[in-house]
Homo-oligomer: A and B are copies of this chain.
Amino acid sequence: MTAYRAEIFITLKPSVLDPAGTAITKGLQQQQYPGVQEVRIGKYIELTLTAADASTAHAQVEQMCQEVLTNPVIETYRFTLEAGR
């Protein structure tokens, strides 16, 4: 078995409102960052796993993203996968 490390980026779909992002945008603008246009908040997940080979690891991470880690109604995801811890 080989160790793999996935970096998963989960973001709200563009059509979905992001109240937290909007609040931070306004806060930054009012503080001292008038140049800020938009802030979108998402999740960044670091996941390590062992698998027989890269394609098995890739398939498992894909399935975890779809079935456990994201809400497909409002979120999209992408991930990178590399061998080694």
Chain A interfacial positions (CB closer than 8 Å to B): 1, 3, 9-11, 21, 24, 27-28, 31, 33, 35-51, 57, 60, 64, 68-69
Tell which of A10, A24, A47 has the most Cβ of chain B within 10 Å.
Answer: A47
Copies of this chain, complex-wide, total 2
Q: Is the interface of A mostly helix, strand, loop or mixed?
A: strand
Chain B residues within 8 Å of A11, by CB: 44, 46
Q: Is the CB of A45 within 8 A of B39?
A: yes
- Let me know if B45 and A1 touch, CB within 8 A: no
Contact B43 A42 (CB under 8 A): yes
Contacts A64-B33, A68-B31, A69-B24 given; does A43 touch B41 at CB 8 Å: yes
